[in-house]
């Protein structure tokens, strides 16, 4: 016998359940706040229109007061939307209901629904990007600190998954910090094109407000901390949204790049780093000894979604004529999701980097896993400096290294026994090539340059306030 199933209203998406994204960032996109942004836009428009004599002064004051009073309730808007099947129209009707008779005719005057929607989206992004930028700066500062901390630590540099040459372990973090700086500047740049206000009506002409529509738009934009759109149809061109989503996807991809490196370095056979692991945490439900890099894996997983949303944003650019509705439904997903998921990724990576466990013994051990063959680049260079032809020197070093591997010999010992090497290099000269710390080259200068740039852009108070 089947038991009776009782329907209970529950969130479906993990974002709705609060699994991903901070409360701070999610609150910007919840229904209640969406209504507040929309009403604030209506209030600013009415105030400006009354100042310019487009609508009666008393009407502008009344509309603004009621829009900001909190008496327009989300529940009522939802009731009206269920009938009207138009969310903005429902909001406007709910505002009209609470205004006095003088103001009722002038609510939403000369506007179209997407004046509200696009300006509201810009207001949400205005506030959300403050949070995102703060966390980006915090992460970048952490990466810079790690770069300095491990600047003089020699480590294995890997290409194609193989040991290649010696790297400063701190240089890994400096590269990531440099990448994040590019994104910080990119976000700041894209704001000029995304944080825009539109009040130009049904097809972007200014509609009922005539020549003064441009003045209304400029004044409303200033009040909202936005920029007036230079030209639009019924909607702000979707190239702007696509550019933002592209930038967010790029940031997500950089975060995944960091995460993938941490995941690889945490592999048992490498063991150079480990994600922080708190008391009571379980890495595996079956294997008690597992300490899985779950935060880095979460970053990699979310990055796939982030990149996929760019395709949707690009598809929204070619709308019909002055607009159609084919962008509307999907933007209810991709705009909040791209911000909220990036916020989650930043929080995860901040946690990982701030608590990262670095195993210096394993870093040192791994340099010599190849029995010294990681120093082949420096042997080759020394032979060339002694006057040997590069191709000949390359061939000799390669053959010695391959034979040493077959015979399980230390590369250094194989070099010392080879007559071609003995004729050019003394034992002391060979030994001197196998000191890892001598091969950090310009690492310190590179790291110092990145750190200086980070500190000039990411002040501590900006990253923590």
Both 245 and 354 in one domain: the answer is yes
From 160, 285, 423, 465, active-site residue: 160
Report residue 217 as tokens.
């738009």
Residue 298 lies in a domain: yes
Q: pLDDT tens digits for 266-276?
A: 999 999 999 98
pLDDT tens sequence across 134-190? 999 999 999 999 999 999 999 999 999 999 999 999 999 999 999 999 999 999 999
Q: Which whole number is the average pLDDT over 53-77? A: 97
Domain that holds residue 175: 113-273+290-366
The pLDDT of 108-121, averaged and rounded, is 97
Residues 237 and 130 in one domain: yes
Residue 255 in domain: yes
Query: Which CATH number is 211's domain given?
Result: 1.20.200.10
Note whether 447 and 143 are within 8 A (CB). Answer: no
pLDDT tens-digit map of 229-241: 999 999 999 999 9
Per-residue pLDDT band at 459 (split at 50, 70, 90): confident
- Cβ neighbour number for residue 268 with a 10 Å cutoff: 7
Rounded Cα–Cα distance for residues 129 and 172 (Å): 27
The helix/strand/coil state of 433 is coil
Q: Are 357 and 388 within one domain?
A: no
* Other Cβ atoms within 10 Å of 11 Cβ, number: 10
The answer on 213 and 359 residing in a single domain is: yes
pLDDT computed for residue 461 by the predictor: 59
157 and 79 part of one domain: no
Active site residue 163: no
Overall number of domains in the chain: 3
- Helix, strand, coil % over all residues of the chain, rounded to 5: 65, 5, 30
Same domain, 82 and 197: no
Asked if 183 is an active-site residue, the reply is no
User: Distances in Å between the alpha carbon of 73 and those of 11, 37, 39, 64, 205?
Assistant: 22, 13, 11, 15, 32
Contacts of 361 (CB under 8 A, 6+ apart): none
In the prediction, which pLDDT does 460 show?
A: 65
Asked, for residue 17, whether it belongs to a domain, the answer is no
179 and 31 in one domain? no
Q: Produce one character per residue of 419-438: b if its CB has 16 or more CB atoms within 10 Å, e if not.
A: ebbeebbeeeebeebbebee
Residue 64 and residue 99 share a domain? yes
In a shared domain, residues 219 and 305: yes
- Cα(192)–Cα(181) distance, rounded to whole angstroms? 18
Assess if residue 16 is contained within a domain.
Answer: no
Residues in the chain: 465
Any domain includes 14:
no
Residue 44 maps to a domain: yes
pLDDT, tens only, 399-413: 999 999 999 999 999
User: Of 90, 106, 122, which marks where a domain is finished?
Assistant: 106
CATH of the domain at 85: 1.10.275.10
**Mean pLDDT score, 326-342:** 96
Q: Identify the active-site residue in 284, 308, 354, 442.
A: 284
pTM recorded for the entire structure: 0.93
If asked whether residues 315 and 415 sit together in one domain, one would say no
- Which of 106, 133, 152 terminates a domain? The answer is 106
Residue 120 forms part of a structural domain: yes
Same domain, 82 and 204: no
Residue 12 within any structural domain of the chain: no
Do 86 and 170 belong to one domain? no
């Amino acid at each position: 016998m089947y038991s009776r199933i009782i329907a209970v209203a529950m969130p479906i998406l993990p974002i709705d359940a609060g699994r991903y994204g901070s409360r701070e960032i999610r609150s910007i996109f919840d229904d209640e706040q969406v209504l507040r942004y929309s009403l604030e836009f209506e209030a600013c428009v009415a105030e400006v229109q009354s100042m310019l004599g487009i609508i009666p002064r008393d009407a502008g004051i009344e509309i603004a007061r009621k829009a900001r009073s909190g008496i327009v309730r989300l529940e009522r808007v939802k009731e009206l939307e269920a009938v009207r099947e138009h969310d903005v129209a429902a909001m406007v009707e709910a505002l009209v209901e609470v205004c006095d008779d003088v103001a009722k005719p002038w609510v939403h005057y000369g506007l179209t629904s997407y004046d509200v929607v696009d300006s509201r989206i810009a207001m949400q992004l205005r506030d959300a990007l403050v949070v995102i930028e703060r966390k980006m700066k915090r992460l970048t500062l952490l990466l810079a600190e790690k770069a300095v901390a491990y600047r003089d630590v020699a480590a294995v540099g890997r290409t194609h998954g193989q040991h290649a040459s010696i790297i400063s372990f701190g240089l890994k973090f400096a590269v990531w910090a440099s990448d994040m700086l590019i994104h910080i500047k990119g976000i700041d740049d894209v704001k000029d094109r995304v944080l825009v206000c539109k009040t130009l009506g049904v097809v972007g002409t200014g509609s009922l407000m005539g020549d003064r529509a441009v003045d209304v738009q400029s004044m409303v934009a200033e009040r909202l901390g936005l920029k007036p759109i230079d030209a639009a149809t019924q909607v702000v061109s979707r190239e702007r949204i696509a550019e933002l989503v592209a930038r967010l996807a790029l940031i997500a991809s950089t975060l995944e790049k960091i995460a993938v490196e941490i995941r690889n370095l945490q592999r048992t056979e490498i063991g150079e780093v480990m994600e922080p692991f708190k008391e009571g945490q379980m890495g595996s439900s079956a294997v008690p000894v597992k300490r899985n890099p779950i935060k880095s894996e979460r970053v990699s997983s979310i990055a796939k979604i982030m990149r996929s949303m760019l395709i949707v944003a690009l598809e929204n650019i070619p709308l019909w004529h002055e607009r159609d509705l084919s962008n509307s439904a999907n933007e209810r997903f991709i705009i909040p999701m791209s911000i909220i998921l990036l916020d989650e990724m930043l929080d995860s990576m901040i946690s990982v980097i701030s608590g990262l466990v670095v195993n210096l013994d394993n870093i040192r051990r791994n340099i010599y896993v190849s029995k010294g063959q990681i120093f082949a680049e420096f042997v080759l260079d020394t032979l060339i400096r002694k006057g040997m032809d590069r191709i000949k020197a390359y061939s000799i070093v390669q053959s010695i290294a391959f034979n040493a591997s077959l015979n399980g010999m230390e590369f250094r010992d194989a070099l010392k026994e080879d007559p071609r090497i003995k004729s050019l290099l003394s034992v002391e000269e060979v030994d001197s090539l196998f000191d890892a710390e001598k091969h950090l080259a310009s690492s310190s200068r590179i790291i110092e340059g990145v750190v200086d740039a980070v500190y000039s852009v990411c002040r501590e108070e900006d990253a923590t306030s």
